[in-house]
Structure 1
């Protein structure tokens, strides 16, 4: 069944499976990667075009769960949810962590996400030149590094409990710091544009396990000072906060009582943050 979207200027005709909680779709430009969406009713009802919120999974790849968790918020706030899937081992080596550090072999994960955003914008006739991004755990890795690379594409970012952080530190190399950022990525970090993005950082107060986040000599992502930002996730995220604030970037920091490492329990705090950001953005 096709859905009439003719009341929205430039909007294409959509199938019923393009609305609500959509099936998983392969990315046209690189079918190693996939995504699913929540598409709010405004798309087919002639209402205002939606904003876009990307919800980035962590190591466990529970991307449909995050999509579903945000669906009610998205419906009532006229937001489209894009939930990418970066599968384990796209290079054939079983690596679970490549997406967290942006580059893995021939893959630039930031470019993969931007291709997804552009594909969705074209299909639905929307302007997603700026969008919001949330990531927790491995997704928190991705979210703060994506911000450093593409602040011009974001209006808000929520960074949840990354196991390791890249500080805005010109005295240490990537990924621990940013000294050789331009050499690796072909562009400088634009601090002024980062200042224009609304930033939330959140972590459970009792998220204190270290077994997964302590880098060891010989590990795939080991480098000097790999653990210098702190021993546990709250310490590491606080180091990131201080790094941002020392550069003049405002941060809302949520240390959530009685919560361990549980991204789905943090969704309510993210929705509260996004609610305020969307209200300010739409008022402006």
Structure 2
């Protein structure tokens, strides 16, 4: 017997599934997001996992959604791409989200509200998720991972212009000495060790005009340029700070790639696919073995 297709079903297929439309966040409608939701979500082989992708200064959030659509379809994942607009406080600031905190805004909390909203909408457990960001998004995910490692199963930090090192001798944002005073949350190295950490940058990503901090600049502080002059150098400094803390890191330097995040997507997806395979294997391993009542 055929089940009639209702208008609600049609609307869900058009606007909620596949390359879904753009939604305002329920917790703060100044912020919005787009998604890719596999159309087979109701009959998927695996429970859905969530992959969050944070745009850079250019806000190419839809382009990143589209670039990850096939990955999500074949790996039973929902992709969430938030939009943190320029000038939310009316001042034209392009960079607030990168620092996690802008005035009274906490961009980490805004993202977590979106994650909870999507989990409730689709009936999924997204208590832990994957996180990737490139350029300005790389700054965000670097700092988000330090603040909320318990919410992540993997993080991929792409070509950040500035990095927050695991350096207890320097204040935020260069280091983490006063992180608890700044954000009300202490650094949890043990939780960070449970996260699969990836870093990626193009070998030809060598321009410095946008990332060199000048005295008197918006985010200048002592040590702002000490991690290196280029993005590859700064990412290597970040990697070393993680390794010194006992955290494993996979660093990919993509040959012949300048500062172009979409050219790094394949490399990121390779890492995510492997991390996802390991995560699902670990989940299966924790489940009780089937019991044979005849034994």
TM-score (norm 1): 0.95
CA contact (8 A) 1:207 1:260 kept: yes
Q: Where does 1:1-284 land on structure 2 (aligned, <5 Å)?
A: 1-3=7-9, 14=12, 16-45=14-43, 47-284=45-282
Query: 1-side partners of 2:101 and 2:74: how far apart?
Result: 36
| TM-score when normalising by structure 2 | 0.91
CA distance in 2, matches of 1:34, 1:101: 19
CA pair 46-233 structure 1, distance change in 2 beyond 3 A = closer
* In structure 2, C-alpha distance between the alignment counterparts of 1:144 and 1:33, rounded to whole Å: 21
User: For the Cα contact (< 8 Å) 1:2–1:16, is it kept in 2?
Assistant: no
Residues in 2 aligned to 1:49 and 1:88: alpha-carbon distance in whole angstroms: 35
Whole-angstrom CA distance in 2 between matches of 1:46 and 1:109: 31
Structure-1 separation of matches of 2:138 and 2:174: 15
Give CA-to-partner distance per residue, 1:180-233, whole Å, 9 cap, x none: 111011111000000000000010111100000001111110111110000000
CA shift for structure 1 position 78: 0.6
Alpha-carbon distance between aligned partners in 1 of 2:132 and 2:269, rounded to the nearest angstrom: 10
The answer on whether the counterparts of 1:54 and 1:133 sit within 8 Å (CA) in structure 2 is: yes
Distance 1:74 1:46, change over 3 A: closer
Per-residue displacement from partner, 1:129-164 (whole Å, max 9, x unpaired)? 000000000000001100000000000000000000
Contact 1:3 1:44 in 2 (8 A): no
Would you identify which runs of 4 or more consecutive aligned residues in structure 1 move more than 4 Å? none
Partner of residue 8, structure 1: none
CA–CA distance in structure 2, aligned partners of residues 134 and 187 of structure 1: 22
Preserved contact between residue 207 and residue 233 of structure 1 (Cα < 8 Å): yes
**Bigger Rg over Cα:** 2
**What is the rounded CA distance, in whole Å, between the counterparts of 1:136 and 1:276 in structure 2?**
20
Is contact 1:42–1:48 with CA below 8 Å preserved after alignment?
no
**Does the 8 Å CA contact 1:229/1:235 hold for their aligned counterparts?**
yes
What displacement does 1:46 show? Answer: 5.7
Structure 2 runs not aligned, ≥5 long: 1-6, 283-295
